[in-house]
Amino acid sequence: AAKRHGRNHSQRFRPALDMQDSPQLGLVNELRHALATGTQLELHYQGQHHLADGALVGLEALLRWRHPRDGMISPADFIPLAERHGLMASLGNWVIDQALAQLARWRRLGMPEVPVWINVSALQMFQGELESALAAGLARHGISAERLGLEITESVLLDERAGDIAPRLGVLRERGHPIAIDDFGTGYSSLGYLKKLPLDKLKLDRAFIKALPDDRADAAIVGAVLAMARGLELEVIAEGVETIAQRDFLRAAGCSLVQGFLYARPLPAERLEAQWQEHESAGGSPDGARVAAE
Protein backbone atom coordinates (compact mmCIF):
# COMPACT_ATOMS: atom_id res chain seq x y z
CA ALA A 1 0.00 0.00 0.00
CA ALA A 2 1.19 3.50 -0.72
CA LYS A 3 2.42 5.14 2.45
CA ARG A 4 0.25 7.72 4.17
CA HIS A 5 2.39 10.54 2.86
CA GLY A 6 2.62 9.04 -0.57
CA ARG A 7 -0.49 10.62 -1.96
CA ASN A 8 -0.37 14.23 -1.08
CA HIS A 9 3.19 15.37 -1.00
CA SER A 10 3.80 15.92 -4.63
CA GLN A 11 1.80 16.54 -7.74
CA ARG A 12 4.85 15.96 -9.85
CA PHE A 13 4.39 12.24 -9.58
CA ARG A 14 1.91 10.55 -11.87
CA PRO A 15 -1.03 9.39 -9.79
CA ALA A 16 -1.87 6.53 -12.14
CA LEU A 17 -0.29 3.82 -10.05
CA ASP A 18 -2.51 2.04 -7.66
CA MET A 19 -0.97 -1.23 -6.77
CA GLN A 20 -3.33 -1.97 -3.93
CA ASP A 21 -4.94 -4.92 -5.68
CA SER A 22 -3.41 -5.80 -8.99
CA PRO A 23 0.15 -7.05 -8.75
CA GLN A 24 1.22 -4.96 -11.75
CA LEU A 25 3.63 -7.58 -12.89
CA GLY A 26 4.53 -5.53 -15.91
CA LEU A 27 5.77 -2.77 -13.67
CA VAL A 28 7.62 -5.26 -11.47
CA ASN A 29 9.48 -6.55 -14.47
CA GLU A 30 10.27 -3.02 -15.52
CA LEU A 31 11.62 -2.31 -12.07
CA ARG A 32 13.74 -5.46 -12.28
CA HIS A 33 15.07 -4.21 -15.59
CA ALA A 34 15.70 -0.73 -14.19
CA LEU A 35 17.70 -2.32 -11.38
CA ALA A 36 19.69 -4.52 -13.72
CA THR A 37 20.67 -1.63 -15.95
CA GLY A 38 20.76 1.04 -13.26
CA THR A 39 19.90 3.69 -15.81
CA GLN A 40 16.40 4.76 -14.73
CA LEU A 41 17.11 4.95 -11.02
CA GLU A 42 18.51 8.04 -9.35
CA LEU A 43 19.14 9.36 -5.91
CA HIS A 44 18.09 12.90 -5.23
CA TYR A 45 19.44 14.71 -2.20
CA GLN A 46 17.60 17.00 0.17
CA GLY A 47 19.44 19.23 2.62
CA GLN A 48 19.07 19.03 6.37
CA HIS A 49 19.80 22.35 7.99
CA HIS A 50 20.55 24.10 11.24
CA LEU A 51 17.49 26.14 12.03
CA ALA A 52 19.55 28.92 13.58
CA ASP A 53 21.60 29.87 10.52
CA GLY A 54 20.48 27.62 7.69
CA ALA A 55 23.84 25.83 7.54
CA LEU A 56 23.80 22.49 5.78
CA VAL A 57 24.36 19.64 8.25
CA GLY A 58 23.34 16.61 6.22
CA LEU A 59 21.70 15.34 3.06
CA GLU A 60 18.94 12.76 2.79
CA ALA A 61 19.17 10.49 -0.24
CA LEU A 62 15.75 9.91 -1.79
CA LEU A 63 15.23 7.30 -4.45
CA ARG A 64 13.69 8.22 -7.79
CA TRP A 65 12.57 6.06 -10.68
CA ARG A 66 12.47 7.89 -13.98
CA HIS A 67 10.22 5.57 -15.92
CA PRO A 68 10.59 5.88 -19.69
CA ARG A 69 6.82 5.79 -20.24
CA ASP A 70 5.26 6.89 -16.96
CA GLY A 71 7.68 9.61 -15.90
CA MET A 72 8.83 10.03 -12.31
CA ILE A 73 7.37 7.34 -10.07
CA SER A 74 7.20 8.04 -6.35
CA PRO A 75 9.20 5.79 -4.03
CA ALA A 76 6.06 5.62 -1.90
CA ASP A 77 4.60 3.63 -4.80
CA PHE A 78 7.45 1.49 -6.06
CA ILE A 79 9.18 0.63 -2.80
CA PRO A 80 6.18 -1.35 -1.52
CA LEU A 81 6.16 -3.06 -4.92
CA ALA A 82 9.83 -3.93 -4.59
CA GLU A 83 9.19 -5.26 -1.10
CA ARG A 84 6.34 -7.47 -2.22
CA HIS A 85 8.25 -8.92 -5.12
CA GLY A 86 11.58 -9.66 -3.55
CA LEU A 87 13.49 -6.76 -5.08
CA MET A 88 14.06 -4.73 -1.95
CA ALA A 89 17.43 -6.20 -1.06
CA SER A 90 18.88 -5.36 -4.48
CA LEU A 91 17.21 -1.97 -4.48
CA GLY A 92 18.55 -1.25 -1.02
CA ASN A 93 22.03 -2.37 -2.02
CA TRP A 94 21.85 -0.15 -5.09
CA VAL A 95 21.02 2.83 -2.86
CA ILE A 96 23.93 2.06 -0.53
CA ASP A 97 26.39 1.77 -3.38
CA GLN A 98 25.11 4.85 -5.17
CA ALA A 99 25.17 7.04 -2.06
CA LEU A 100 28.71 5.95 -1.23
CA ALA A 101 29.89 6.51 -4.80
CA GLN A 102 28.43 10.00 -4.56
CA LEU A 103 30.21 10.69 -1.28
CA ALA A 104 33.47 9.58 -2.84
CA ARG A 105 32.88 11.87 -5.83
CA TRP A 106 32.01 14.84 -3.63
CA ARG A 107 35.15 14.28 -1.62
CA ARG A 108 37.25 14.31 -4.79
CA LEU A 109 35.52 17.51 -5.90
CA GLY A 110 36.05 19.18 -2.52
CA MET A 111 32.32 19.52 -1.90
CA PRO A 112 30.85 20.03 1.58
CA GLU A 113 31.67 17.04 3.79
CA VAL A 114 28.31 16.43 5.39
CA PRO A 115 26.86 13.01 6.09
CA VAL A 116 24.43 11.47 3.64
CA TRP A 117 21.47 9.67 5.19
CA ILE A 118 19.85 6.75 3.44
CA ASN A 119 16.43 5.26 4.14
CA VAL A 120 16.50 1.66 5.23
CA SER A 121 13.37 -0.40 4.67
CA ALA A 122 11.91 -2.95 7.06
CA LEU A 123 12.84 -5.73 4.69
CA GLN A 124 16.48 -4.74 4.67
CA MET A 125 16.40 -4.87 8.45
CA PHE A 126 15.07 -8.39 8.67
CA GLN A 127 16.70 -9.96 5.65
CA GLY A 128 20.02 -9.56 7.36
CA GLU A 129 22.17 -8.48 4.43
CA LEU A 130 22.32 -4.88 5.52
CA GLU A 131 25.44 -5.11 7.67
CA SER A 132 27.54 -6.87 5.06
CA ALA A 133 26.29 -4.65 2.22
CA LEU A 134 27.21 -1.55 4.22
CA ALA A 135 30.64 -2.84 5.19
CA ALA A 136 31.45 -3.90 1.63
CA GLY A 137 30.27 -0.57 0.23
CA LEU A 138 32.25 1.51 2.70
CA ALA A 139 35.39 -0.47 1.89
CA ARG A 140 34.86 -0.31 -1.86
CA HIS A 141 34.43 3.45 -1.88
CA GLY A 142 36.82 4.30 0.93
CA ILE A 143 34.21 6.13 2.98
CA SER A 144 33.96 6.04 6.75
CA ALA A 145 30.74 4.94 8.42
CA GLU A 146 30.30 8.36 10.08
CA ARG A 147 29.46 9.78 6.68
CA LEU A 148 26.57 7.38 6.02
CA GLY A 149 23.57 7.83 8.30
CA LEU A 150 20.74 5.32 8.47
CA GLU A 151 17.10 6.40 8.68
CA ILE A 152 14.94 3.61 10.05
CA THR A 153 11.23 4.20 9.86
CA GLU A 154 9.47 3.93 13.19
CA SER A 155 7.04 1.28 12.00
CA VAL A 156 9.96 -1.14 11.57
CA LEU A 157 10.15 -1.35 15.33
CA LEU A 158 6.70 -2.96 15.33
CA ASP A 159 7.50 -5.39 12.57
CA GLU A 160 7.98 -8.76 14.18
CA ARG A 161 9.91 -9.99 11.19
CA ALA A 162 12.64 -7.54 12.09
CA GLY A 163 13.16 -9.36 15.39
CA ASP A 164 14.98 -7.54 18.11
CA ILE A 165 16.76 -4.89 16.12
CA ALA A 166 18.39 -3.16 19.09
CA PRO A 167 21.56 -5.28 19.05
CA ARG A 168 21.86 -4.98 15.28
CA LEU A 169 21.49 -1.22 15.36
CA GLY A 170 24.01 -1.25 18.20
CA VAL A 171 26.58 -2.93 15.97
CA LEU A 172 25.96 -0.49 13.12
CA ARG A 173 26.22 2.50 15.41
CA GLU A 174 29.38 1.15 16.99
CA ARG A 175 30.87 0.94 13.52
CA GLY A 176 30.15 4.66 13.27
CA HIS A 177 26.87 4.98 11.38
CA PRO A 178 24.65 7.72 12.77
CA ILE A 179 21.13 6.38 13.30
CA ALA A 180 17.80 8.17 13.10
CA ILE A 181 14.21 7.10 13.63
CA ASP A 182 12.25 8.31 10.61
CA ASP A 183 8.59 9.36 10.60
CA PHE A 184 8.73 9.61 14.36
CA GLY A 185 5.31 9.77 15.99
CA THR A 186 3.40 7.89 13.31
CA GLY A 187 4.42 4.30 13.99
CA TYR A 188 2.14 3.67 16.96
CA SER A 189 5.00 2.10 18.77
CA SER A 190 5.69 2.36 22.47
CA LEU A 191 8.10 5.02 23.60
CA GLY A 192 9.96 2.39 25.59
CA TYR A 193 12.13 1.65 22.60
CA LEU A 194 13.76 5.05 22.91
CA LYS A 195 15.47 3.77 26.03
CA LYS A 196 16.71 0.58 24.43
CA LEU A 197 17.77 1.67 20.99
CA PRO A 198 21.10 3.25 20.18
CA LEU A 199 19.96 6.42 18.42
CA ASP A 200 21.24 9.83 17.40
CA LYS A 201 18.19 11.56 15.96
CA LEU A 202 14.44 11.56 15.79
CA LYS A 203 12.87 12.78 12.59
CA LEU A 204 9.58 14.30 13.57
CA ASP A 205 7.08 13.36 10.89
CA ARG A 206 5.69 16.01 8.58
CA ALA A 207 2.18 15.11 9.76
CA PHE A 208 2.89 17.08 12.96
CA ILE A 209 4.52 20.01 11.20
CA LYS A 210 1.95 20.57 8.47
CA ALA A 211 -0.66 22.43 10.54
CA LEU A 212 1.77 24.42 12.70
CA PRO A 213 1.56 26.91 14.26
CA ASP A 214 -2.26 27.05 14.39
CA ASP A 215 -3.13 23.49 15.35
CA ARG A 216 -2.93 23.39 19.13
CA ALA A 217 -2.75 19.62 19.36
CA ASP A 218 0.16 19.42 16.92
CA ALA A 219 1.86 22.31 18.68
CA ALA A 220 1.54 20.42 21.98
CA ILE A 221 2.85 17.18 20.47
CA VAL A 222 5.84 18.89 18.88
CA GLY A 223 6.63 20.68 22.14
CA ALA A 224 6.41 17.44 24.11
CA VAL A 225 8.63 15.52 21.68
CA LEU A 226 11.25 18.25 21.82
CA ALA A 227 11.21 18.25 25.63
CA MET A 228 11.46 14.48 25.77
CA ALA A 229 14.27 14.38 23.22
CA ARG A 230 16.24 16.93 25.23
CA GLY A 231 15.95 14.68 28.27
CA LEU A 232 17.09 11.69 26.26
CA GLU A 233 19.88 13.67 24.60
CA LEU A 234 18.56 12.98 21.14
CA GLU A 235 18.54 15.50 18.33
CA VAL A 236 15.23 16.23 16.65
CA ILE A 237 14.90 17.14 13.02
CA ALA A 238 11.55 18.47 11.84
CA GLU A 239 10.49 17.05 8.46
CA GLY A 240 8.52 18.87 5.81
CA VAL A 241 9.08 22.45 6.92
CA GLU A 242 7.46 24.55 4.22
CA THR A 243 6.64 27.92 5.72
CA ILE A 244 8.33 30.65 7.67
CA ALA A 245 5.54 30.44 10.28
CA GLN A 246 6.38 26.76 10.83
CA ARG A 247 10.05 27.58 11.07
CA ASP A 248 9.41 30.34 13.59
CA PHE A 249 7.26 28.07 15.73
CA LEU A 250 9.95 25.38 15.68
CA ARG A 251 12.64 27.88 16.58
CA ALA A 252 10.64 29.16 19.56
CA ALA A 253 9.97 25.57 20.63
CA GLY A 254 13.71 24.83 20.66
CA CYS A 255 14.01 22.61 17.61
CA SER A 256 17.50 22.88 16.18
CA LEU A 257 17.35 20.96 12.88
CA VAL A 258 15.01 21.23 9.93
CA GLN A 259 14.38 19.71 6.52
CA GLY A 260 11.78 20.76 4.01
CA PHE A 261 10.89 22.69 0.89
CA LEU A 262 11.41 26.01 2.70
CA TYR A 263 15.11 25.15 2.76
CA ALA A 264 15.62 22.90 -0.22
CA ARG A 265 13.87 20.45 -2.50
CA PRO A 266 15.39 17.07 -3.17
CA LEU A 267 17.79 17.65 -6.09
CA PRO A 268 19.85 15.49 -8.43
CA ALA A 269 23.53 15.40 -7.48
CA GLU A 270 24.56 17.51 -10.49
CA ARG A 271 22.19 20.27 -9.47
CA LEU A 272 23.63 20.33 -5.96
CA GLU A 273 27.15 20.42 -7.33
CA ALA A 274 26.24 23.31 -9.60
CA GLN A 275 24.75 25.19 -6.64
CA TRP A 276 27.82 24.59 -4.54
CA GLN A 277 30.14 25.70 -7.30
CA GLU A 278 28.10 28.81 -7.94
CA HIS A 279 28.18 29.56 -4.24
CA GLU A 280 31.95 29.15 -4.09
CA SER A 281 32.60 31.37 -7.05
CA ALA A 282 30.40 33.97 -5.37
CA GLY A 283 32.79 33.82 -2.41
CA GLY A 284 30.45 31.92 -0.14
CA SER A 285 31.28 30.47 3.24
CA PRO A 286 33.48 27.37 3.27
CA ASP A 287 30.61 24.99 3.84
CA GLY A 288 29.38 26.38 0.58
CA ALA A 289 25.83 25.63 1.36
CA ARG A 290 24.09 28.13 3.55
CA VAL A 291 20.50 28.64 2.69
CA ALA A 292 18.69 31.89 2.46
CA ALA A 293 15.74 30.86 4.57
CA GLU A 294 15.92 33.91 6.78
Q: Which of residues 30 and 151 has its CB atom nearest to Mg ion in the complex?
A: 151
Shortest Cβ 209–ligand C2E spacing (Å): 8
Question: 216-232 and 244-253 helices cross at what angle (nearest 10)?
Answer: 40
Residue 36's identity, in one-letter code, is A
Shortest Cβ 196–ligand C2E spacing (Å): 22
Q: Which residues bind ligand C2E (CB under 6 A)?
A: 9, 46, 62-63, 74-76, 79, 95, 118-119, 121, 151, 153, 182-183, 239-242, 259-261, 266
Kindly give the pairing relationship between strand 56-67 and strand 71-73.
antiparallel
Q: Which of residues 102 and 153 has its CB atom nearest to ligand C2E in the complex?
A: 153
Extended beta strands in the chain, E state: 41-50, 56-67, 71-73, 116-120, 148-153, 179-184, 201-204, 235-238, 257-258, 267-268
DSSP letter for each residue of 102-164? HHHHHHHHT-----EEEEE-HHHHHHS-HHHHHHHHHHHHT--GGGEEEEEEGGGGG-GGG--
Q: Which partner from the list ligand C2E, Mg ion, none does 102 bind, CB cut-off 5 to 8 Å by kind? A: none
Shortest Cβ 74–ligand C2E spacing (Å): 5
Q: Which of 24, 93, 119, 124 binds Mg ion (CB under 5 A)?
A: 119
Shortest Cβ 73–ligand C2E spacing (Å): 10
Shortest Cβ 36–ligand C2E spacing (Å): 17
Q: Which of residues 14 and 277 has its CB atom nearest to ligand C2E in the complex?
A: 14
Smallest Cα–Cα separation from 234: which of 198, 206, 209, 191?
Answer: 198
Neighbouring C-beta atoms of residue 54, cutoff 10 Å: 19
Q: Which of residues 256 and 277 has its CB atom nearest to Mg ion in the complex?
A: 256
Interface positions with Mg ion (CB under 5 A):
119, 151, 182-183, 203, 205, 239
